[in-house]
A = this chain, B = another copy of it.
Amino acid sequence: MNDSQLVRPLPVSGFPEWLPEIRMVEQRWLDVIRSGFERYGFCSVETPSVEPLSVLTAKGETSNEVYALRRLQEDADDTSDSRIGLHFDLTVPFARYTAQHFNELVFPFKRYQMQRVWRGERAQDGRFREFTQCDIDVINVDRLPLHFDAELPRMIHEVMTALDLPEWTLGINNRKVLQGFYEGLGIADPLAVIRAVDKLDKVGPEGVARLLSGELGLPARTVDSCLALARLRGEGPAVVDAVRDLGVTSDLLAEGLDELGYVLDSLGDLPAGAVVADLSIARGLDYYTGTVYEGKFTDWPDYGSICSGGRYENLTGSFIRRGLPGVGMSIGLTRIFAKLLAEGLLETGPKCPSQVLVVIPADERRRAAETTAAGLRRRGMNVELYHQADKVAKQLRYASRKGIPFVWFPPFEEGGNHEVKNLTTGEQTPADPAVWVPSPRWTSSEEVGQMVAVSMTKR
């Protein structure tokens, strides 16, 4: 075969994949997150990777990011899948799911959803075309207690703590505070101001000032007030008083400040720096109506948000008449994971989950080695049997290269002794396969629950 006939096995830009020793860490993260969500009784939901384009574009604005599907070889008789596309987030599918199964769900409906999503955007630092998000949402009929606006960030805090991430802070704001404040200033189109303030990270205060005075035609004093609000940031309910000190009033502002104060107060037991009120946070998406969240790494503020979310009054409005208010948060798993990997901050796992490699000393001892391996497996260990009788040095090298911590030597002759070698210490000792247990070197799935428990703040 000529080289010219070979297909080059190249990665596709924006579609990450990991070597086994990294994939193992990603899977452990997913286990930790899942366990943390279930700890609060949230149930798992998965939706199809696709939705009808009518569902994906029900809100209109994100249509340019959608990957639509087409069959390479179209079947003219069967156009049943000609109008579908990959979901670009888990929020739209969740809204559709809730509306579709409305009569079969128990409300308040608390679900988590950990799936890949796809966006046809230009791949760049922290932006992927295929990535995994981990979402939690609570949605209820008619009215949703404010309690959940505090429970969700607590869950996210505990899960992220269990992942042992570099320092990060969850910023919290409330859209009613922003909108009520702008209304109190006599601004006719508060949403336009919210969208302008949302660009603060990108264009800076001067840029936002230009937008507000130029495009929106606001007077200088009003612009100053908007920027003064956006500058407020602080831990605990004191920041609520600081907003009040700006001297603007409206009913909506008062309501928003009550909500913001309640959420901050409820989270007061979290460690210093975990949660901060940040009045600059707007979250551009129009569907948020109350509390909004945005988490960022302390050391990489420009990397963008690593988790985000908020409260919405009418997410399912495109699908169902009934009012279904909810609050949700999303962890950008791939974005966080890829960043830590790039920064060299990820302690990668071994290349396989095996705890023990059982040596095959000689061909005639293969069945005995198989029996030993099977016995260890039945006792709950992950065990590889070396695949052929080979020099012991070669079998040891295989274990070492794959990061298998223990090598088991079944007796070289009938009735002989078992021995086990600890590759970390080099120690080799006699061992009884019926009672021996390995010292842990890597987190088993059983320990994940414990990691989550340890991450929980003592109250």
Q: Which A residues have a C-beta under 8 Å from some C-beta of B?
A: 1, 3, 6-20, 23-24, 26-27, 31, 35, 38-55, 57-58, 63-64, 66-73, 75, 78, 80-81, 84-86, 96-97, 99-101, 104-106, 108, 110-111, 116, 118, 120, 122-123, 129-130, 145, 147-148, 151, 317-321, 351-354, 357, 366, 370-371, 374-375, 377-385, 387-388, 398, 401-402, 404, 445-446, 448-450, 453, 456-459
Shortest distance between the CB of A102 and any CB in chain B (Å): 9
Taken together as a complex, chains A and B put the C-alpha atoms of A7 and B60 apart, in Å, by 12
Taken together as a complex, chains A and B put the C-alpha atoms of A151 and B387 apart, in Å, by 10
Taken together as a complex, chains A and B put the C-alpha atoms of A55 and B9 apart, in Å, by 7
For this chain, the copies found in one complex come to 2
Q: Is the CB of A99 within 8 A of B9?
A: yes
Q: Is the CB of B81 within 8 A of A72?
A: no
Taken together as a complex, chains A and B put the C-alpha atoms of A20 and B13 apart, in Å, by 35
Contacts of A75 in B (CB 8 A): 122
Contacts of A383 in B (CB 8 A): 39-41
- A446 touches which one: B55, B320, B352, B446 (CB < 8 A)? B446
Q: Is the CB of A72 within 8 A of B68?
A: yes
Q: Is the CB of A81 within 8 A of B353?
A: no
Contacts of A53 in B (CB 8 A): 72
A41-B382, A145-B387 known; 7 new pairs, CB 8 Å cut-off, are A6-B319, A12-B50, A12-B51, A18-B46, A20-B44, A41-B352, A72-B120
Q: Is the CB of A387 within 8 A of B108?
A: yes
Q: Is the CB of A71 within 8 A of B81?
A: no
- CB within 8 Å for A352 and B42 given contacts A1-B317, A64-B73, A370-B459: yes
Taken together as a complex, chains A and B put the C-alpha atoms of A39 and B351 apart, in Å, by 14
Give me 8 A-to-B residue pairs in the complex whose CB atoms sit less than 8 angstroms apart, sorted by A's number.
Answer: A9-B55, A10-B100, A20-B43, A38-B353, A64-B71, A64-B72, A374-B456, A377-B456
- CB within 8 Å for A122 and B78 given contacts A49-B49, A71-B68, A86-B69: yes
Q: Is the CB of B69 within 8 A of A67?
A: yes
Q: Is the CB of A458 within 8 A of B63?
A: no
Taken together as a complex, chains A and B put the C-alpha atoms of A190 and B122 apart, in Å, by 50
Contacts of A97 in B (CB 8 A): 9, 17
Contacts of A123 in B (CB 8 A): 80
Taken together as a complex, chains A and B put the C-alpha atoms of A50 and B10 apart, in Å, by 12
The closest CB in chain B to the CB of A403 belongs to B106
Contacts of A43 in B (CB 8 A): 20, 23-24, 351-353
Taken together as a complex, chains A and B put the C-alpha atoms of A1 and B314 apart, in Å, by 12
The closest CB in chain B to the CB of A401 belongs to B106
Contacts of A458 in B (CB 8 A): 378
Taken together as a complex, chains A and B put the C-alpha atoms of A384 and B37 apart, in Å, by 11
The closest CB in chain B to the CB of A53 belongs to B72
Shortest distance between the CB of A140 and any CB in chain B (Å): 8
Shortest distance between the CB of A315 and any CB in chain B (Å): 12
Q: Is the CB of A404 within 8 A of B41?
A: yes
Shortest distance between the CB of A369 and any CB in chain B (Å): 11
Shortest distance between the CB of A255 and any CB in chain B (Å): 18
Contacts of A387 in B (CB 8 A): 108, 145, 147-148
The list of the 3 closest CB pairs from A to B, nearest first, reads: A41-B354, A41-B384, A15-B48
Q: Is the CB of B20 within 8 A of A45?
A: yes
